[in-house]
Amino acid sequence: MSKTNPGNYFEDFALGQKLPHATPRTVSEGDQALYTALYGSRFALQSSDEFARSLGLARAPLDDLLAFHVVFGKTVPDISLNAIANLGYANCVFGAPVYPGDTLSTVSEVIGLKENSNGKTGVVYVNSRGVNQRGDMVLDYVRWVMVRKKDALSDAPAPSVPELPGSVAADALVVPEGLNFNAFDTTLAGAPHRWGDYKVGEKIDHVDAMTIEEAEHQMATRLYQNTAKVHFNNHVEKEGRFGRRIVYGGHVISLARALTFNGLGNAVKIAAINGGAHTAPSFAGDTIYVWSEVLDRFEVPGRSDIGALRLRSVAAKDRACADFPGKAEGGGYDPAVVLDLDYTVLLPR
């Protein structure tokens, strides 16, 4: 009997199946430093202990998306080792802040299965929950992934696709204990714009851009202990659909988030990811540009110091976003678009 892990194929999943994932991860200041080196994120809350203390936290927390990547990475050997593509996210709620020294672990449950019409692949829907060493929820989210079948002739389970909310409700958002924006210093944060300065329907071209380097996306994926074959094995992938390794979608999300600083610099806390789609693959050498639209602006229940913006950020490769590329009239995406992300941020009122 083989002692190696071949990963789960579509036939190996069952509705309601619980998957406790291996390798709890203790995160450190080194992880945050590497994250900053990879993406250049400049949000003040995650950059300065003193800034974080002025807002009521014990110290600067790790970047929200770094926590996302670590929790996500735990799931890959069990869920997406044999994936063709990660397709989307929904109902993602960020909970307790993650600090250097915290240990993160993840458990997933299969909540949906649907074989594709080609009979060679299927889509697996999972709800994954990441917790720290005290059992506090740091991230709870749904994703769906296209996974290869081991045997195209094997029987498929009856299709079951979960109903997912279009967005995370205001009363489901988690404001970290102690966080208070009354003393928020916009000068130190590097941006003058507060919650009330943004209007629903407003579009922001974030102007800046960043080119994906082969070494950086490889380093990032290893940093998160994401073992998906499509990101690493060029010997195999050069014979695949694209002829080369594809970039982990989360790498593009982090690049996009960092680029939004120019225009959304005071949006220092991601509270939720409402939905998202990787609309096309990204590769080393692609240059990522981003634009955002304010989809909604709402109050956080019981808070006069914090407001929430629901944003749509769209990333395009090798195309500046002054004309806001997105969906065409026919419903398809502009071929330059690689990410369409719907998420909620907290910023000072």
**Tell me, what CATH number does 283's domain have?**
3.10.129.10
pLDDT in tens, 292-340: 999 999 999 999 999 999 999 999 999 999 999 998 778 899 999 999 9
Whether 200 and 295 share a structural domain: yes
Instruction: Check whether residue 275 and residue 145 sit in a common domain.
Output: no
Residues 66 and 208 in one domain: no
Per the structure, the complete domain to which residue 103 belongs is given by 1-150
Identify whether 42 is part of a domain. Answer: yes
Predicted confidence at residue 102, as pLDDT, reads 98
| Angle made by CA atoms 218, 279, 32, in degrees to the nearest 5 | 35
Pair of tokens at residue 131 = 């917790």
- Over range 241-260, report the average pLDDT: 94
Specify whether 128 is located in the same domain as 205. Answer: no
Q: Are residues 110 and 203 in the same domain?
A: no
| Per-residue pLDDT at 226 exceeds 90 | no
Domain check: are 197 and 135 in the same one? no
What is the number of domains present in the chain?
Answer: 2
Measured from the Cβ of residue 272, the count of other Cβ atoms closer than 10 Å reads 25
Q: What is the pLDDT of residue 281?
A: 92
201 and 324 part of one domain = yes
Residue 103 domain-assigned (yes or no): yes
159 located within any domain: no
Distances (CA, A) of 22 to 3, 83, 104: 16, 18, 11
Q: Which of 111, 99, 221, 87 is nearest to 163 (CA)?
A: 111
Do 348 and 206 fall into the same domain? yes
Give pLDDT tens digits for 52-64: 999 999 999 999 9
Rounded Cα gap, residues 179 and 133, in angstroms: 21
Query: How high is the pLDDT of residue 154?
Result: 86
Mean pLDDT of 168-181: 95
- Reported in sequence order, the residue ranges of 149-280 that DSSP labels E, i.e. its strands, are 203-211, 269-278
Q: Is residue 182 part of a domain?
A: no
Residue 169 falls within a domain, yes or no?
no
d(CA 147, CA 120): 9
Task: Report the share of the chain in percent with pLDDT over 70.
Answer: 100
**pLDDT at 1 exceeding the cut of 80:** no
Asked if the structure places residue 70 within a domain, the reply is yes
Residue 187 domain flag = no
**198 with 338, same domain?**
yes
**Residue among 234, 226, 224 nearest 77 (CA):** 226
In this model, does residue 157 exceed pLDDT 70? yes
CA distance 133 to 37: 27
Percent of the chain with pLDDT over 90: 85
